[in-house]
Amino acid sequence: MKKIITFLKDNIKTKKFLFALLAIVFVYTSQRNKKSDFYLARPVVRGEITQEVSASGEVKSETQIKVQFQTSGKLAWLGVKEGDRVKKWQALASLDKEDLKKRFQKEMNDYLNERWDFEQTQDDYKQTKEKSLVTDSIKRILEKAQFDLNNSVLDVELSDLAVKYATIYSPIDGIVTEVVPSVAGLNVLFSSSYIEVADPGLMKIEAVVDEVDVVKIKENQEAVITLDAFPGEEFSGKISKIAYKSSVTKSGGTGYVVSVSVPLELAGRLRLGFNAEIKIVTEKKAGVLLVPLEALIEEDKAYVFRAVDGKAMKTPVKIGLTNDLFAEISEGLKEQDLVLFEKTASLKDGQSINVKKTD
């Protein structure tokens, strides 16, 4: 610094002052930048690495059913609302039965008419049959009478079933999760009216796993469950089912629905639709060489840059397992080698560098 001050005093009254000052600033700035231009390096260590499959999903019930009417009509009675607990075979709702009963009575009358016609036809051809003089024409007449009677019987039975099916029942113990429509007195179509019931004691997580990951998992494999509703908590579960038919993932790709059972102590805390994450460990290795994933450069072949005597040395490596943080190195490095893991894309083999070692 004394030399710089002396230089300034000698040149302050000359035309060279401005150029000298600029030169000093440039040299000072270059030296300062050079000192701060370092590359982070981390030693290669031995440790444990796990590879896992993760997916987002939601809480559903193992037993979740929709109960619907078998016919259209006026919704005369609605006995439940969303959130109600119901017992198995409890009545839930009923259509207006007056119209259905009248239809049943009409079918009964039609049946009686058809029965009388049938018996009259049989009487008309009784002697003919006794004398074995039945021709093909007479045979067709008798068979038609029998068919008409049979159809009439079926119409009566269908009308009777319509009266019985006018009331719908819950086939399970559970909680009513949806009622459509939610009020009585409306004319409803059997195809668009329903009551949904779910068993809260049989809960599961359903998530769509990408097709490249679903081949890595199998039924009865353990999974870690986390839920937005319970931050900071983790729960264990098991894969109970992997769908055979594909579904669409949130990103528009191809995936498969994976069901994960939940422990009984968690099931009572859950509600349908809770957001959940599942993680499934597919492979684990211990005592292997590990480097930060960002240190890995993959082009035609994989390599890293080692810090050796102040220089960046390009080193080919062979990769094993990888996850979001680390990569296993099976060949090319040894323990405690310093590996650069920042700004490596611009490095050249043999380039002089300043290194800052981190743990």
Q: 3-state DSSP call for residue 46?
A: strand
What residues contact residue 200 under an 8 Å CB cut-off, 6+ apart?
A: 61, 174, 175, 267, 268, 270
For residue 238, the model assigns a pLDDT of 94
Q: Is 355 within 8 Å of 38 (Cβ atoms)?
A: yes
Confidence of residue 11 (pLDDT cuts 50, 70, 90): low
d(CA 217, CA 329): 24
d(CA 155, CA 106): 10
Q: Is 54 within 8 Å of 279 (Cβ atoms)?
A: yes
d(CA 271, CA 268): 8
What residues contact residue 320 under an 8 Å CB cut-off, 6+ apart?
A: 49, 285, 288, 327, 328, 329, 330
* CATH class of the domain at 53-62+199-282: mainly beta
Model pTM above 0.85: no
Token pair for residue 315? Answer: 């080193």
Q: Residue 110, Cβ neighbours under 10 Å: how many?
A: 15
pLDDT single digits (tens) 164-207:
889 999 999 999 999 999 999 999 998 899 999 998 878 899 99
For residue 9, the model assigns a pLDDT of 54
When pLDDT is averaged across residues 225-236 and rounded to a whole number, the result is: 94
More confident residue, 1 or 232: 232
In angstroms, what is the C-alpha Rg of the chain?
41
Confidence of residue 27 (pLDDT cuts 50, 70, 90): very low
* CATH class of the domain at 39-51+285-357: mainly beta
Q: Is 307 within 8 Å of 355 (Cβ atoms)?
A: yes
